[in-house]
C-alpha cells in the first residue's frame, strides 16, 4: 500500500482546534445532509458507497480474468500519525456495505492447487468464482501476525478468508518469517508473504541498506538461500510477491530510485535501467528458489493502478519479469487515502487499469490484491463548501449537500459524511454570523 501525504495529522489538529474554539464561543449551527442514492441505502457514507460499487461490479463478471479480491483492512498511519480509516468497520455503513457485498456464492475461500514444473501453485477457482482474501490488520508495519487479528476480521466480515496477507520487512536481516507463516497456517489460512527489501518503513527514496543491484549481484544470496530452504521445509503452500506496487515511487524498488529511464548504465542499452533492474532482481530470486528445488511457492507480480512518476518507462508492463517467472499478476486499486484525494468510483478506476493489467500477459490469472478507501477521504470538497456557504445569506443555519455532476450522480458532495467537512461548515457559518 502506498504512503499518504505527510502532514495530514497536523492539518487535522489545526482544524479541530479552530472548531473547538469557535463552537465554544458561537451560537450552535445545524447542518443537514442528503444521503447517497445507494442501491442498499447506505446513508451518508461515501466509503460505503465506494465499497458497494466495487463489490457489485466485481461480482458482475465485468473483469473475467480477475480471480482474487483482497481488502486492505487497516487504520493506516503516515509519519505524523493517523491518516486513513481503511478498516471495514470505520463506520456502520462501511461495514454493512462490505458484509452485504461479499455475501454471495461467487466468493469462495477454498484454495485450489495445481502441480506445475516448479511445484504446487495456487490455481484459479472454479468457473464463476473468485477467491476472497484480506490483509486483516497486522499492525502498522504489516507484520504483527496474530490469530486474533484474523479472527476479528472474519467476525466483522461474516466470512472466512482464503489467505492472510502480510509483509516480510527485511529490516537488518533477511530471514524467513516462520512464526508468521505457522500462525496463519495453523489457523487454516494460506500465508501470502509480501517480500519487502526495506530496512526502514518510511522510505520514498532509496533504501539505506538494500538495493536491486545488490540483489542482482548476489550480495544477499546466503540469507535468501536459507530463506528458501526454510520455506520449503515447512511443507506449507505459500504465496509470495517480491517488490509490492513496483510502479509506485513510494517504494525504494521503483525504477525512479534504480536508474529510472536511463538506458546506459545497466544491461540492455535499449531498455530503461530502473525497470530492467527490478525485472532482473525478481528473476534472480525466483531462479535461486528453483535451483534449490523449492516446490511450495506461488509467485505474484504486483503493480498499482497509478504509475508514479508518470513516465513511459514506469508503466506496469515495463517491470514484468515474464510468464515463466510469474504465476499471478495483481494490482492495488484504492479510493481516497487522505482527505485531499478525490472520490472516484471503483469501477471507473478499474475500467482504466484492467486493460493495462491484461496486456501484461495474455494468460496469467489476475488478482485485486489490495482495495479500500478512507472513511474521511476526499475532503478536497472543503473548498467547494466554503465557496458555497460564503454566498449564502448570513441568517441561514442549514447546509444542504448536493451532487457534483463532474463526478457522476453516485458521487455526491456530502458534508455530513465527514466530521472534518462538517467542522469546516461550522467554522464558515460561525465566522459569517459574527
4 part of a folded domain: no
Q: Kindly give the residue spans of alpha helices, DSSP state H, lying in 86-220.
A: 92-102, 147-157, 178-186, 212-216
33 part of a folded domain: no
Structure-derived torsion over alpha carbons of residues 430, 431, 432, 434, reported in degrees to the nearest 10: 80
pLDDT in tens, 137-149: 999 999 999 999 9
153 part of a folded domain: yes
Report the length, in residues, of the chain: 434
10 part of a folded domain: no
Residue 424's SS3 state is helix
pLDDT in tens, 151-191: 999 999 999 999 999 999 999 999 999 999 999 999 999 99
| Whole-number Å distance between alpha carbons of 377 and 8 | 11
Give the three cell numbers for residue 316: 506496469
Residue 50's SS3 state is helix
| Whole-number Å distance between alpha carbons of 242 and 168 | 10
| Whole-number Å distance between alpha carbons of 401 and 35 | 9
Per-residue model confidence (pLDDT) at position 388: 35
Beta bridge partners of 85: 75
Per-residue model confidence (pLDDT) at position 18: 41
Q: Which residues contact 64 (CB under 8 A, 6 or more apart)?
A: none
26 part of a folded domain: no
Q: Ramachandran region of residue 178, left (φ > 0), alpha (ψ -120 to 50) or beta?
A: alpha
| Whole-number Å distance between alpha carbons of 200 and 210 | 10
Residues of the chain with pLDDT under 70: 2-44, 78-82, 380-434
Cβ atoms of residues 35 and 400 within 8 Å: no
16 part of a folded domain: no
| Whole-number Å distance between alpha carbons of 128 and 105 | 9
- Total domain count for the chain? 1
Per-residue model confidence (pLDDT) at position 41: 58
Q: Residue 308: exposed, middle, or buried by beta-carbon count in 10 A (0-12, 13-18, 19+)?
A: middle
The DSSP code sequence of 311-368 is -GGGSGGGG---TTT-SEEEEEEES-SSTTSPP--HHHHHHHHHHHHHHH-SSS-EEE
Cβ atoms of residues 322 and 276 within 8 Å: no
Q: Which domain holds residue 299?
A: 42-382
Dihedral sign computed on CA atoms, order 245, 246, 248, 251:
positive
The DSSP code sequence of 274-301 is HHHHHHHHHHHHHHHHHHTT--SEEEEE
| Maximum CA extent, the chain | 77
Nearest by Cα to 243 from 228, 230, 254: 254
3 part of a folded domain: no
Per-residue model confidence (pLDDT) at position 384: 37
Nearest by Cα to 433 from 15, 21, 28: 28
pLDDT in tens, 297-333: 999 999 999 999 999 999 999 999 999 999 999 999 9
312 part of a folded domain: yes
CATH number for the domain harbouring residue 65: 3.20.20.80
Amino acid at each position: 500500500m502506498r504512503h499518504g501525504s505527510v502532514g495530514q495529522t497536523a492539518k487535522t489538529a489545526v482544524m479541530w482546534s479552530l472548531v473547538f474554539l469557535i463552537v465554544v464561543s458561537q451560537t450552535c449551527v445545524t447542518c443537514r445532509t442528503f444521503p447517497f442514492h445507494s442501491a442498499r441505502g447506505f446513508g451518508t457514507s461515501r466509503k460505503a458507497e465506494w465499497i458497494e460499487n466495487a463489490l457489485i461490479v466485481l461480482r458482475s463478471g465485468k473483469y473475467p480474468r480477475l480471480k482474487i479480491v483482497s481488502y486492505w483492512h487497516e487504520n493506516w498511519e503516515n509519519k505524523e500519525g493517523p491518516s486513513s480509516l481503511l478498516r471495514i468497520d470505520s463506520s456502520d455503513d462501511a461495514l454493512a456495505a462490505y458484509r452485504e457485498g461479499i455475501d454471495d456464492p461467487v466468493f469462495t475461500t477454498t484454495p485450489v492447487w495445481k502441480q506445475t514444473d516448479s511445484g504446487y501453485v495456487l490455481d484459479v477457482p472454479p468457473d464463476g468464482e473468485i477467491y476472497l482474501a484480506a490483509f486483516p490488520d497486522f499492525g502498522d508495519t504489516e507484520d504483527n501476525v496474530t490469530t486474533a487479528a484474523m479472527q476479528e476480521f472474519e467476525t466483522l466480515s461474516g466470512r472466512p478468508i482464503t489467505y492472510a496477507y502480510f509483509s516480510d520487512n527485511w529490516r537488518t536481516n533477511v530471514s524467513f518469517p516462520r512464526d508468521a507463516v505457522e500462525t496463519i497456517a495453523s489457523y487454516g489460512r494460506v500465508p501470502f508473504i509480501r517480500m519487502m527489501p526495506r530496512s526502514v518503513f518510511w522510505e520514498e527514496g532509496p533504501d539505506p541498506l538494500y538495493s536491486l543491484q545488490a540483489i542482482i549481484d548476489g550480495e544477499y544470496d546466503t540469507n535468501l538461500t536459507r530463506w528458501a530452504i526454510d520455506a520449503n521445509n515447512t511443507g506449507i503452500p505459500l504465496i509470495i510477491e517480491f517488490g509490492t506496487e513496483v510502479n509506485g515511487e513510494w517504494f525504494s524498488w521503483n525504477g525512479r530510485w534504480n536508474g529510472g529511464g536511463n538506458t546506459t548504465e545497466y544491461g540492455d542499452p535499449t531498455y530503461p535501467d530502473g525497470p530492467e533492474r527490478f525485472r532482473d532482481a525478481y528473476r534472480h530470486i525466483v531462479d535461486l528458489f528453483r535451483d534449490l528445488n523449492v516446490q511450495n511457492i506461488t509467485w505474484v507480480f504486483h503493480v498499482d493502478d497509478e504509475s508514479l512518476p508518470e513516465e513511459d518507462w514506469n508503466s506496469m508492463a515495463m517491470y514484468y519479469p515474464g510468464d515463466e517467472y510469474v504465476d499471478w499478476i495483481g494490482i492495488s486499486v484504492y479510493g481516497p487515502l487522505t482527505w485531499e484525494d478525490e472520490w472516484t468510483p471503483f469501477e471507473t478506476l478499474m475500467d482504466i487499469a484492467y486493460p493495462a493489467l491484461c496486456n501484461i500477459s495474455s494468460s496469467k490469472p489476475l488478482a485485486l490484491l489490495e482495495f479500500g478507501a478512507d472513511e474521511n477521504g476526499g475532503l478536497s470538497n472543503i473548498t467547494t463548501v466554503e465557496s458555497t456557504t460564503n454566498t449564502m445569506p448570513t441568517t441561514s443555519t442549514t447546509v444542504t449537500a448536493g451532487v457534483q455532476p463532474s463526478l457522476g450522480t453516485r458521487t455526491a458532495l456530502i458534508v455530513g459524511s465527514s466530521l472534518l467537512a462538517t467542522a469546516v461548515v461550522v467554522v464558515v457559518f460561525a465566522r459569517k454570523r459574527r
